[in-house]
Amino acid sequence: MRVNGVRFSIASHAAWAPGVNTTEAWKEWAQAPFPFAGGADPLVTAMPAMLRRRAGFLGKMALEVAYQCLDGRTGVPTVFCSRHGEVARAVDLISELVEQQSVSPTGFGLAVHNASAGLFSIARKDQANHIALAAGDGTIEHAVIEACGLLAEGEPMVLLVAYDNTLPDVFSQFKEGNEQAYAWAWLMVPEQADVIELSCLSSDGVMQGNAAMAAGLEVLRFQLSGQTLLERVAGQRCWRWSRHA
């Protein structure tokens, strides 16, 4: 059964991963994906140093692409999405509790799922709506649907930020596919030229998916490579991404 889809265009985009932070490098990766390795943390020079120091590696990746993609625009609602979020910080906090150490309130505040969105809003003194969500293997698709809902309500543009990192070793048994650290952002607008459509095919049974690449990277490759179709299986759903001139 096909569920009616959402359609949108991308006005600007940005991406960052360890050792891959130029347009040419991302084009090469999209044509023949390779493992990310090396490279320093994102600089996030657009953010005041006092706030930038609070962000960990995952947050800095998200903030770097958010700043690049918005390029000084204000008043734009944002949707931040991450399957795992700041799980490494959460593990550290739980370990401190187990060892009966005091837990830092600041550490807890930076471990919640909307920490990066909050830092971004505070640093820019921007009171535009922001949302942070996680939806398992369908996180990217549900974030796109959320963003398209905002566009349908009349927003001229919405910033989507997708980011994730590898799971801590304690959760190694739950890893799916080749997880890598990455972040990317799209400035989504109502459909214009080069329209992307996202729709859903459902099934009565659980379908087998290809977990060779993290979901967010599959979708990023679809966008960067110019593919016209991507069908991505997640549980009982097949998400169909298509491109229309």
| Per-residue model confidence as pLDDT tens digits over 152-164 | 999 999 999 999 9
Cα-based torsion angle of the residue sequence 30, 35, 38, 39 in order, rounded to the nearest 10 degrees: 20
* Segment 211-230 mean pLDDT: 92
**Over 80: is that where the pLDDT of 28 sits?**
yes
pLDDT: which is higher, 222 or 93: 222
Tell me: pLDDT of 38 over 60: yes
Domain harbouring 131, CATH code: 3.40.47.10
Lowest-confidence region among 41-45, 92-96, 111-115 = 92-96
Taking residues 126-152, what's their average pLDDT? 95
Mean pLDDT of 121-146: 95
* Mean pLDDT on 184-189: 98
User: Is there a domain that residue 90 lies in?
Assistant: yes
**What separation in angstroms does the CA of 236 have from each of 84, 95, 136, 210?**
20, 35, 12, 13
Q: Residue 74: inside a domain, yes or no? A: yes
| Torsion 220-134-177-3 (CA) sign | negative
- Measured between alpha carbons, how far is 28 from 33 in angstroms, rounded to an integer? 8
Eight-class DSSP state of 169:
G
* Token pair for 172: 């190694």
Q: 184 pLDDT exceeds 90?
A: yes
Range(s) of the domain holding residue 91: 10-192
User: Which of 106-110, 188-192, 200-204 has the highest mean predicted lDDT (pLDDT)?
Assistant: 188-192
* pLDDT reported for residue 204: 55
**What's the rounded Cα separation, in Å, for the pair 215 and 144?**
13
Length of the chain: 245
Tokens in use for 223? Answer: 């966008």
Cα gap 17→142, rounded to integer Å: 22
Q: How many CB atoms lie within 10 A of CB 45?
A: 9
Q: How far is CA 172 from CA 65, 112, 179, in A?
A: 27, 21, 11
Q: Whole-prediction pTM value?
A: 0.90
Backbone angles phi, psi at 207, to 5 degrees: -90, 155
* pLDDT, averaged across the chain: 89
Please state, in angstroms and as integers, the Cα–Cα distance from residue 171 to each residue in 84, 95, 96, 161, 174, following that order: 11, 14, 17, 24, 6
Query: Measured between alpha carbons, how far is 32 from 27 in angstroms, rounded to an integer?
Result: 9
- How does residue 26 score in pLDDT terms, banded at 50, 70 and 90? very high
In a domain, 95, yes or no: yes
Indicate whether 243 belongs to any domain.
no
Total domain count, the chain: 1
**Residue 146, in any domain of the structure:** yes
Residue 55 lies in a domain: yes
Residue 208 has what pLDDT?
A: 52
Q: Which helix (H) or strand (E) holds 164?
A: strand 158-164
211: pLDDT confidence band, cut at 50, 70 and 90? low
pLDDT of amino acid 119 = 94
Whole-number Å distance between alpha carbons of 188 and 156: 9
Flag whether 242 is in a domain: no
Q: Is residue 144 part of a domain?
A: yes
Which of 204 and 117 is assigned the larger pLDDT? 117
Residue that is written with structure tokens 């990746």 in the block: 61
3-state secondary structure of 113: coil
The whole-number pLDDT of residue 11 equals: 97
Does pLDDT of 1 surpass 50?
no
> In the predicted model, what is the mean pLDDT of residues 210-228?
89
